Chain A
Amino acid sequence: MSAAEEVVAEGHEAVEAVPKRAMTLSTTTSLVVLAAFLIVPLFAKNFIIFQLTMLLIYGLAVLALNILTGGSGQFSLGQSAFYAVGAYVTAVLMEQFNVNYALTLPVAGVICFGFGFLFGQPALRLSGVYLALATFALATAMPQLLKLNFLEHWTGGVQGLVVTKPDAPFGLPMGQDMWLYYFTLVVTLAIYIFSVNLLRSRSGRAFMAIRDNEIAASSMGVNVALYKTLAFGVSAGITGVAGGLSAIAVQFVAPDSYNITLAISLFLGMVVGGVGWLPGSFVGAAFIIFVPNMAESISKGLSGAVFGVLLFLVIFLVPHGARQVAIVSQQLIGKLKKN
């Protein structure tokens, strides 16, 4: 049994303990969360709105990783590479070709889908730690590739590109930050619904069959190679859209923003949120955005250490991440209702 299969076996046991529709939240909870996302920015300062926008963007990227790892059981420590490609596609299209920002996102998604699909081809032969290392290599190489001389004409080389923030359309009375927040929220919602449906569809079941037992899946007629690369493609595509959104929100792209630290953050976001639990992606995103800031405020020099210690606490106390917290609280509420 390879290491990856072990994860899957363990993950599978964890899945059995929860209800069948455990991939998502219940309808009521979803609506409450959505309402919160809609209302909170109306009363918040611009900086907080910006952070919420980043939360949604990172949440999307973690969601993408969750489809790949939680869905099809493949590892990736290289999501930052797809994120970078998406960001650069958007930035280059907006600044060099004057394309409307909203139109750049589908392009970023499609290009990253192709990129991920192609990377999935050689990755087919790798599993577990080997795949983790190959994707790790991809993430390490990406900043160097973005600095290449012959691309400098478009990418701006080491300096990167500055992106202009779009104004609210139709003369809506909103600041740029708030407009971008709602725009991101709509994109996020669309992709979230797409992902939920994808995982419930025939393809999603194929992903999960491969995750649970590749050989059994192939003997039942699942085209393992196709679905594995497809999972890579979809995951990369969504990550690309998230990257594109981040380029617009941050208003700047540069090679060194997309280093291995970003890839690791996304991975940690997935672990903290709970592997295979889609809503957890946004909890994980909140962890990787806010906890380093908190750690910084506790002790400036020791922020990395504080972050590490908090991460260990999460691992030891709730090894299945936010999903575990959600299940436990659900059970508690159920008990209270009975009484």
Chain B
Amino acid sequence: MELFTNQVLAGIATGAIYACMALAVVMIYQAIDHLNFAQGEMAMFATFISWQLMQWGVPYWAAFVITLAFAFVGGIAIERILFKPLAKAPILTNVAGFIALFAIINSSAGLIWDFTIKQYPTPFGSSPFLGSQLISTHQAGMIGVTLLLLLGLFFFFQYTRIGLAMRAAASLPESARLVGINTSWMIALGWGMASAIGAIAGMLIAPVVFLEPNMMGGVLIYGFAAAVLGGLSSPFGAVVGGFLVGIFENLAGTYIPGVGNELKLPIALALIISVLVVKPAGLFGRHIVKRV
């Protein structure tokens, strides 16, 4: 039983990261109807920035905040320069654009910081949490930061004017424009926020997976899986999906014989495909009725 609880808690902790990535993916999906395949690389680059700042002697939380600001501005810049002109292009062109962005960021990070694996500090420490053997302080910290972030986002979207405007721009852009909302800038804002959320995920997972240019590959795939599982049109679903995928991944690795670490990914993905086949819009997604 202890093994089970342990695996579930560890699953919740990694699930928190997947939830962040999924949330970032969903935010951009809501804004422009495309999946951002470069989301993980953007997060990785931001994590490297924070690492560099700490190497220069900036304390952890200061580096954290500066990196968030950098990621926010960077996300907006990417949208303005690269993807705004592609807004009317076919979806295939957009996917190619995301892949190009992926290649550019990955290769530049490799050139600047090289491909060796680096240690990344945790602000919470790695001792057992409150004396319990079940979960480490860093894992508890990951869950805590994610919950804070979710709460913040909830209040932002529910109770602020800009949050309301962003929701309007995402759900009915034409009508939003009619009531005077600058939808184009709302999309850019969505990119900035998604980029910052991704950066948080990157900085939280870096002590676990270590820092290197390819660190977000697996995390992004799980993030996609989480977003799809919860439904791409539902930020709430993305978060639930993230935790579910995290827990399932750990339990499958522990209890299904012959799975181990190697087959965790295929098994998790098989689960996602089966969910999609049964419920194509995801667990919490809106089902769109098609017309001729």
Contacts and interface: CB of A to CB of B under 8 A. Distances in A.
Contacts of A11: 90
Contacts of A302: 107-108, 111
B281 to A, nearest CB: 9
A144 B262 CA distance: 7
Contacts of B228: 130, 133
Given A7-B92, A305-B104, A312-B82, A144 B266 contact: yes
Interface stretch (A89-97, A173-181, A183-191, A211-219): A211-219
Given A305-B108, A311-B96, 10 more contacts: A1-B290, A2-B288, A6-B91, A125-B277, A137-B270, A137-B273, A144-B266, A267-B96, A268-B96, A270-B92
A126 B35 contact: no
Nearest to B292: A215
B91 A3 contact: yes
A122 B273 CA distance: 8
A11 to B, nearest CB: 6
Given A130-B280, A215-B290, A216-B292, A6 B273 contact: no
A125 B276 contact: yes
A165 interface: no
A247 B82 CA distance: 38
Q: Please provide the 4 A-B residue pairs with the shortest distance between their CB atoms, ordered closest to farther.
A: A304-B107, A308-B104, A141-B266, A137-B269
Given A3-B91, A141-B265, A216-B292, A303 B107 contact: yes
A309 B100 contact: yes
Contact of B262 (A10, A147, A272, A319): A147
Interface residues of B, number: 47
A308 B103 contact: yes
Given A2-B288, A133-B224, A140-B221, A315 B107 contact: no
Contacts of A249: none
Nearest to B285: A130
Interface string B259-292: 0001101100110110011001000000010111
A278 B272 CA distance: 33
**Main secondary structure on chain A at its contact with chain B?**
helix
B102 interface: yes
A308 B102 contact: yes
Contacts of B272: 133-134, 137
Nearest to B262: A144
Interface residues of A, number: 54
Contacts of A6: 33, 90-91
Interface string A270-291: 1110010000000000000000
Nearest to A148: B263
A221 interface: no
B103 A316 contact: no
B262 A315 contact: no
A145 interface: yes
Contact of B35 (A133, A268, A270, A315): A133
Given A7-B90, A133-B35, A122 B277 contact: yes
B97 A315 contact: yes
B276 A301 contact: no
Nearest to B218: A140
A131 B272 CA distance: 12
B86 A308 contact: no
A335 to B, nearest CB: 28
Nearest to A69: B92
